[in-house]
Amino acid sequence: MSLSRPGDAVLIVGAGLAGLFLALKLAPRRAIVLSPTKLGLASSSAWAQGGMAVALAQGDSADLHARDTIEAGAGLVDPVVARLLASEGPSRVRDLIALGVPFDRTPDGALAQSLEAAHSRPRVVRVAGDLAGKAIMDALTAAAREHAHIEIVEGRRAEALLQDANGRVRGVRCEDGTEFRAADVVLATGGVGGLYAVTTNPPQATGQGLAMAARAGALIADPEFVQFHPTAIDVGRDPAPLATEALRGEGAHLVNGAGEAFVSDLAARDVVARAIHAERAAGRGAFLDARQAVGARFPEHFPTVFNACLAAGIDPRSELIPVAPAAHYHMGGVVTDIWGRTTLDGLWAVGECASTGAHGANRLASNSLLEAVVFAARIGERLRGDGVAADTPIVTPPPVPLLPDVARTELRALMQNHVGVVRDARGLYATLERVGALCAAHGPCHPLTAARLILAAALQRKESRGAHFRSDYPHVSAPKRSFLTWQDIGTNMDAAAAP
């Protein structure tokens, strides 16, 4: 089946915060937004509890925010991008307020800003405590549905980029065979958490955009850096509910099963995740104690966490919350410049699937929603004018099989156990071999391609930095980002996996 679309549109693949904010910013240019599910159901953005980091408070500044971002990123943040993110943030928050996002206010009407780990100032704007993601997405969804220049197509998941003979991206093919053509294509497909057994992401987040772009020849950066949130609520739910870092910002603290503190509560996210991993591996368990710090204020101040705990039979006002690290955010992705352009003509990327250089080896908390809106606005600025419709023939991309459930479950366990918080060559090679075998059995499914990109870079990085910790290389080497293409690594991998 082929639906021919007028070529002047911008095709946005993904309908989370980055995708919808960009669609709104494109007015009056026509935007087609592809959402793999009904709008809002498969987006990590809507689940974000923390909010958006933005330097607005007295005594804070874009310089300080940029400095914290650079420090958290463990040597790999691009300082130009950090500065741009921090300085454009306030305008983007004002855009969201104009769209009706009801950020929490102090009694005197100023934006309330809370503290999260590795921020030197309280600078996270929130909604009703832990409902920022949902409130932002509700406002954007309502606005996107109202604007005539935006067409939302629900229930279609892209599987391959359509390119002409020169490699220029001209559209996408969806899993059901439908094709969408456009003058410009923007990937806003989210992250890779669904490749892991324990994740805070929706199950659809399995590196679809990363894999599509890599297979089409785009440059990929830093895929080995997968951030684990230290405090997912460990109650056996998939995806795992989150206990926002803001709880520790309010004074909640981590203890092991013996009630002992084992890490500084507001240390960088990777440090806390490794400490919790170690306590759990040693059989001592890890718990968040918010009884004193939040206590009776829980239902009103952290309703999402409160309800997730109650649903699991835990009353966090009087009981400890069992926690475990969970795959949460991908720092790596499709390389873009400061305007969101990838290395492929006609292809742009924004949000978690992009690698702008803002996050380095370890994203600063609540910088992801910020990055999504800052870069969506920048792409909007570039693409707002008319696109050039082109009619060049498309080179048909090869079919992309779907990964069967049983193989997906195996992949998630492998990634969790060997490509997670702590890694070593043995586990990485063993996983690479099994992923190759899964590829031989099931073909070049996107989750396998995404896993192979992560594995290749994790094997190549023989040091420990930020979210990438190698127990066999615990030291830090000279700071260097990873840049790779599928053509560099994948051809050999496909050949090795061939039956």
- In the complex, the residues that contact ligand SIN under the rule CB under 6 A are 49-50, 244-246, 328-329, 365-366, 368
- Would residue 145 show up in a list of annotated catalytic residues for this protein? no
Q: What are 163's two structure tokens?
A: 């390119």
- In a 13 Å sphere around the CA of 87, the CA atoms on its Cβ side amount to 8
What values do phi and psi take at 73, rounded to 5? -75, 0
At CA 194, angle to CA 190 and CA 198, rounded to 5? 130
Rank residues 143 and 267 by Cβ distance to ligand SIN and give the closer one: 267
- Cα–Cα distance measured from residue 451 to residue 471, given in angstroms and rounded to the nearest whole number: 20
- Cα–Cα distance measured from residue 158 to residue 180, given in angstroms and rounded to the nearest whole number: 9
Rank residues 115 and 411 by Cβ distance to ligand SIN and give the closer one: 115
In this structure, what DSSP letter does residue 319 have?
Answer: S
CB 12 within 8 A of CB 31: yes
Rank residues 223 and 249 by Cβ distance to ligand SIN and give the closer one: 249
Shortest gap between Cβ of 454 and ligand SIN (angstroms)? 19
Shortest gap between Cβ of 45 and ligand SIN (angstroms)? 11
Shortest gap between Cβ of 49 and ligand SIN (angstroms)? 4
Shortest gap between Cβ of 464 and ligand SIN (angstroms)? 21
Rank residues 32 and 246 by Cβ distance to ligand SIN and give the closer one: 246
Of the candidates 195, 239, 146, 204, which has an alpha carbon nearest to the alpha carbon of residue 13? 204
Listing DSSP states for 85-150 in one string gives HHHHHHHHHHHHHHTT----B-TTSSBPEE--TT-SS--EE-STTT-HHHHHHHHHHHHHHH-TTE
Shortest gap between Cβ of 116 and ligand SIN (angstroms)? 6
- Give the active site residue among 156, 173, 269, 408: 269
Rank residues 201 and 464 by Cβ distance to ligand SIN and give the closer one: 201
3-state secondary structure of 299: helix
Rank residues 141 and 366 by Cβ distance to ligand SIN and give the closer one: 366
What string of H, E and C letters represents the secondary structure of 369-427? Answer: HHHHHHHHHHHHHHHCCCCCCCCCCEECCCCCCCCCHHHHHHHHHHHHHHCCCCECHHH
Rank residues 42 and 327 by Cβ distance to ligand SIN and give the closer one: 327
Cβ neighbours of residue 31 under 8 Å, at least 6 residues apart?
A: 9, 10, 11, 12, 22, 23, 149, 150, 151
Shortest gap between Cβ of 119 and ligand SIN (angstroms)? 11
Shortest gap between Cβ of 246 and ligand SIN (angstroms)? 6
Q: In what order do the strands lie in the sheet with 124-125?
A: 52-53, 124-125, 113-114
- Residues that are catalytic: 269
